[in-house]
Amino acid sequence: MIIETDFVNHWKTKALAAAIGKAEALQALLLLWGHCQGRKAWEFQLTPLMLAGICGYEGEAEKLWKVMLELRWVVPAEELGWYQARGWGEVNASLVGKWAGGLKKTGATWHPRGYGIAPTSGGTTGATIAQTKGTTSGKPEVSTGASIGASSGPTDLIGEDRIREERKSTPKAPKGAHTLPEFPAEWSERRGGLMNSWAEYRISIKKPIKAASWPKLIEQLKVLDDEAFKACIDDSIANGWQGLFPDKFTLPPPTGGSPGAANAQKKEGAAPPPAKKIRPPDFPWRAVATEHEGWTPEGGWEEQTARTRQTLRESWSKMPAQTKSALWALSQDGASETDDGSEGFACPGPCDWREVWNELYHGLPAPETWAGVADVARREIVARIEAKKKKGAGAE
């Protein structure tokens, strides 16, 4: 088996590694190409589970199937339900030539499914050539008759049986399964490609779209912009659904009307729907961003993106109590961010509050003065001092 010299550093290999992991990607591609050599073929009937088994992939079979098709490591063949390991036959042309043996002189070719095809006198593909295994001369046998099963001339029973089995096992596609309708003129080329992907997905799950269903489906999708259009199709494919649900990706309609009217309103520059109320922060988010995440936020809490706010909340929820206390202490505007109505605590007096600070925050540099300590830290320091006093009084 021959592998291209830039195989490991090729962008498609790197993209596959990014999607499923580097070790899994290299194993999947090597096992797939090894499977082709072992079967003397590079076109097979495949399902997501079958591909995962061939590639030794232990993750989600649908995930591998989707990324292999998207990167075109595996491509659909002309016949429904059959797929090719793209490029295998071209890269390993010398090996394929050895399989056909000396029959190249007759113009014979090797079928991607693993058998030879000899041309008829008219130049078109004729009888099937049996593989060399089982022949007495060690060379492939050729059926010279005009058609397989003819009464005159030698007959290639192996090839004939193989073709009969393929015809029995290959499901017939319903009418309209392979024919895409004429899309609206205003649709972009990207939308047409996405609809083609959806049609191929439906065929792969043996639920091809009927010709009568296309007009209604196109009408439902007209209300979506390009990003919502892609999200709608990706969502259904990722969840293994048979249908599309465009209502999930349209704007809520204003005071009556359809989702389509809402999208039309957006395109015409009408007033947007009321802004969603943002929940105020209940943690020192600036300290989390600067001390934990390593970046300095600009603007207030409401000016951060929803994703940023969610990330900061998740980081805060996963922190241990000691880290939270330290961040509260570092937050000089903690009271203004939380708006909890807390009041400051007077300096404890004779007790050295810095000593208690070090006990609570494990060597974190203390502010220069008691006034520089955040309210939350003051509360904890005073509570610790009061506890020490009570413990000392009890011991006496």
Break the chain into its structural domains and give their ranges.
11-91, 100-169, 189-267, 285-395
285-317 tens-digit pLDDT: 888 888 788 888 887 787 888 888 888 888 888
Taking 50 as the threshold, does the pLDDT of residue 344 lie above it? Answer: no
**Bridge-partner residues for 160, per DSSP?**
none
Beta carbons of 361 and 324 less than 8 angstroms apart = no
Look at 81 and 269; give whichever has higher pLDDT: 81
E strand or H helix at 202, and its extent?
helix 189-204
pLDDT at site 105: 57
Query: For residues 130 and 156, what is the distance between their CA atoms, to the nearest angstrom?
Result: 7
Whole-prediction pTM: 0.33
Taking 60 as the threshold, does the pLDDT of residue 210 lie above it? Answer: yes
Q: How would you list the strands of the sheet with 115-119, edge to edge? A: 109-111, 115-119, 125-129
Please give the average per-residue pLDDT across 69-93, as a whole number.
Answer: 89
Beta carbons of 254 and 262 less than 8 angstroms apart = yes
Sorted by sequence, the CB contacts under 8 Å of residue 123 that are 6+ apart come out as none
Q: Which of 53-57, 93-97, 218-222, 275-279 has the lowest mean pLDDT?
A: 275-279
Q: Which residue has the tokens 């005073």?
A: 382
DSSP per position, 21-33:
-HHHHHHHHHHHH
Please give the average per-residue pLDDT across 106-128, as a whole number.
Answer: 63
Whats the size of the chain, residue-wise? 396
How many percent of the chain have pLDDT more than 90?
A: 14
Q: Which of 10-24, 38-52, 149-163, 349-363 has the lowest mean pLDDT?
A: 149-163
HSE on the CB side for 242, CA within 13 Å? Answer: 8
Write the DSSP symbol of residue 146.
S
DSSP per position, 316-374:
HHTS-HHHHHHHHHH-TTHHHHH----------SSS-HHHHHHHHHTTPPPPSSGGGS-
Read off the tokens for 389: 């006093």
Q: Which of 10-14, 165-169, 199-203 has the lowest mean pLDDT?
A: 165-169
The residue type of 348 is: P
Taking 90 as the threshold, does the pLDDT of residue 75 lie above it? Answer: yes
CA angle 95, 97, 100 (to 5 degrees): 120
**Secondary structure (3-state) at 119:** strand
pLDDT at site 50: 92
DSSP per position, 255-291:
SSS-HHHHHHHHHTTPPPPPPPPPPPPSS-HHHIIII
pLDDT at site 162: 52
Beta carbons of 8 and 26 less than 8 angstroms apart = yes
